[in-house]
Chains A and B, each alone.
Chain A
């Protein structure tokens, strides 16, 4: 074998070996059994963090001077549907938050009514799953107060948030943004339905007229453009059954890390 053909042979062998490794890796990382084994870590994260944190541990709150000059808006920055645009044009005066599902008293709350309820203001850090962080000031009504007003039925275990934005166009409608949280998080004192950001009404990019703040978890849990909330026993029938838009696309339902 001449040195050139030998070199070429070596090159080809290495490329093939490399390709084999990469495709083997990809096959492994696409295998359902491997993925369900990996999910074991998510379960462990949730259990351990729930024990360490308890129900009441508060996320850190900051001061006015810590607020980010630029608070990145991620995901949808404008739902841009006919219905939403009409609401936005009317400054959400005709918008109503619908509260239903496993509750004793279904509610419809206007922005004005939400604002007239006792409020909480908090300056907190928003951690995106991508890795970046921003600090913002949020004012809103504690979700626990809305839940209290509606009255949960005993079999309610989760709260679902249905949003105005469609992040992916699908035939079956599973591209609509939604999220679910359990009652530990729903009743946490820092869990807000926020209508103000940095002392101004929430803008469209950050989720007007109402968004969820869930300070001990990552950003994708904090649904924007919330139109309707519902108390549920299980979220299996929503979307593709994993409890949220991003969860349906492989992200962890428990996003504490």
Chain B
């Protein structure tokens, strides 16, 4: 396996620009498409999810709701717990929220399957997402660089850095599947088939709570993700996730 600086598929796709910089094809089409469909789905799922949560803005642990002892409750004595501007529809409408939620849940799952199929077949998981030993060894330094908003340049920016890799892996193979599984656990029909799943989460209300906190973790990821894009060069990053092309300044070789 190649080092972090030269991911396998980067070779051969370089384009020299007039000013001496190099454009290289970083994100293949399936990745760009599924990225944006996923972004749309997650955004609408979040808003419709908050609409649904507004119907009973309290979380519990276990199989049932212990109304007098919620784990957490949100709230506002008058009006909804989550304001209209962040819910879908933008007025109290549990039925509508559910319609939006399930529609985009299906799209999210189908899109996820397309991505997964592509990522596994193309070797992307192994070549692009899995950190190598050296990266893992230097994780402390990468963390320190990130906290100072110092990002890799030149050839080092061709591949993902170790923090990127780990957070993408956690989101793709941890948080997103967890959203689906906890969501399915809440279905009384699916529960008749997947009782082991309900048991795994410690009950339906626990699954609902995990669903909420996983969504919260995804929101946190989104904020850091956007912050990192802004700090690392928003135009270049946006260009690469829209057109695929990412521009780097090659370092001078001595």
> What B residues does A218 contact at CB under 8 A?
188
A39 close to B (CB within 8 Å): yes
B190 touches A257 (CB 8 A): yes
Contacts A38-B100, A125-B63, A125-B204 supplied; 12 other A-B pairs, CB < 8 Å: A29-B100, A35-B99, A41-B99, A41-B106, A49-B189, A59-B191, A72-B65, A128-B56, A129-B98, A132-B60, A133-B205, A216-B192
B118 close to A (CB within 8 Å): no
Q: Mark interface residues in A1-43 (1 if CB within 8 Å of B CB, else 0).
A: 0000000000000000010001001100110000101111110
> What B residues does A196 contact at CB under 8 A?
none
Stretch at the interface among B82-90, B135-143, B163-171: B82-90
B65 touches A256 (CB 8 A): no
* Alpha-carbon distance between A45 and B188 when the two chains are bound, in angstroms: 12
From A53, A66, A131, A246, contact of B63 by CB (8 A): A66
Q: How far does the Cβ of B134 sit from chain A's closest Cβ, in whole Å?
A: 45
Q: With CB as the reference atom, state the residue of chain B lying closest to A67.
A: B64
A130 close to B (CB within 8 Å): yes
* Alpha-carbon distance between A26 and B87 when the two chains are bound, in angstroms: 10
B217 close to A (CB within 8 Å): no
Residues of chain A whose beta carbon lies under 8 Å from any beta carbon of chain B: 18, 22, 25-26, 29-30, 35, 37-42, 44-45, 49, 52-53, 57-60, 62, 66, 68, 70, 72, 125, 127-135, 215-218, 246, 249-252, 256-257
B105 close to A (CB within 8 Å): yes
| A217 in contact with B188 given A128-B56, A132-B56, A250-B96 (CB within 8 Å) | yes
A52 touches B193 (CB 8 A): yes
> What A residues does B192 contact at CB under 8 A?
53, 57-60, 215-216
A133 touches B65 (CB 8 A): yes
A49 touches B187 (CB 8 A): yes
B68 touches A70 (CB 8 A): yes
A127 touches B198 (CB 8 A): no
Interface residues of B in 174-214 (CB under 8 A from A): 186-193, 195, 198, 204-205, 208
Q: With CB as the reference atom, state the residue of chain A lying closest to B208.
A: A131
* Alpha-carbon distance between A5 and B208 when the two chains are bound, in angstroms: 47
Residues of chain B whose beta carbon lies under 8 Å from any beta carbon of chain A: 52-53, 55-56, 58, 60, 63-65, 67-68, 84-85, 88-91, 93-96, 98-100, 102-103, 105-106, 186-193, 195, 198, 204-205, 208
Q: Which 6 A-B pairs have the closest CB atoms?
A: A256-B189, A250-B95, A29-B89, A257-B187, A132-B65, A41-B102
> What A residues does B98 contact at CB under 8 A?
129, 251-252
> What B residues does A44 contact at CB under 8 A?
106
Q: How far does the Cβ of B206 sit from chain A's closest Cβ, in whole Å?
A: 11
Q: How far does the Cβ of A28 sit from chain B's closest Cβ, in whole Å?
A: 8
Q: How far does the Cβ of A81 sit from chain B's closest Cβ, in whole Å?
A: 27
* Alpha-carbon distance between A215 and B188 when the two chains are bound, in angstroms: 7
A18 touches B95 (CB 8 A): no
* Alpha-carbon distance between A246 and B192 when the two chains are bound, in angstroms: 24
* Alpha-carbon distance between A66 and B63 when the two chains are bound, in angstroms: 9
* Alpha-carbon distance between A52 and B190 when the two chains are bound, in angstroms: 8
> What A residues does B58 contact at CB under 8 A?
132
Q: How far does the Cβ of A144 sit from chain B's closest Cβ, in whole Å?
A: 17
Q: With CB as the reference atom, state the residue of chain A lying closest to B189.
A: A256
| A127 in contact with B103 given A132-B67, A133-B65 (CB within 8 Å) | no
Q: With CB as the reference atom, state the residue of chain A lying closest to B96.
A: A29
Pairs A–B under 8 Å by Cβ, sample size 12: A22-B90, A29-B90, A29-B96, A52-B190, A60-B191, A60-B192, A125-B64, A131-B208, A215-B188, A218-B188, A251-B95, A252-B95
